[in-house]
Amino acid sequence: QVQFVESGGGLVQPGGSLRLSCAVPGRIFSTTAMGWYRQAPGKQREWVAYITIGGTTNYADSVKDRFTISRDNAKNTVDLQMNSLKPEDTAIYYCNSVPRRDSWGQGTQVTVSS
């Protein structure tokens, strides 16, 4: 079973920043695009951003120009830099491959509140 391990969440005020990180098993990291997803209370899980093996990125309209996804090929990690955070960004954030696998990590909670 694939294990993704997310970290870096926390409580931040509107307008603030957070950087999330996801540790990915090497056999997965080197062979697939990776993405970040989130699930807000009472809502379905949604895609946020992805990055291909070659470094091409794409973002949901709701986070475009505020979030940046990156991958560290030496560490097998995928990061999500989140700037100008809004209360509506509050959610549990998960990483997974693209296309998604059935196995999910525990996620990391991001709360944007004053």
Asked if 96 and 37 touch (Cβ cutoff 8 Å), the reply is yes
C-alpha distance from residue 49 to each of 13, 14, 100, 113 (Å) = 22, 20, 12, 22
Distance CA 114, CA 110 (A): 13
Structure confidence by residue, pLDDT tens digits, 58-87: 999 999 999 999 999 999 999 999 999 999
- The pLDDT value recorded for residue 3 is 87
Asked if 93 and 38 touch (Cβ cutoff 8 Å), the reply is yes
- The pLDDT value recorded for residue 38 is 98
Beta bridge partners of 46: 38
Task: Report phi then psi at 63, rounded to 5.
Answer: -120, -5
- The pLDDT value recorded for residue 79 is 98
Residue numbers in the chain where pLDDT is lower than 70: none
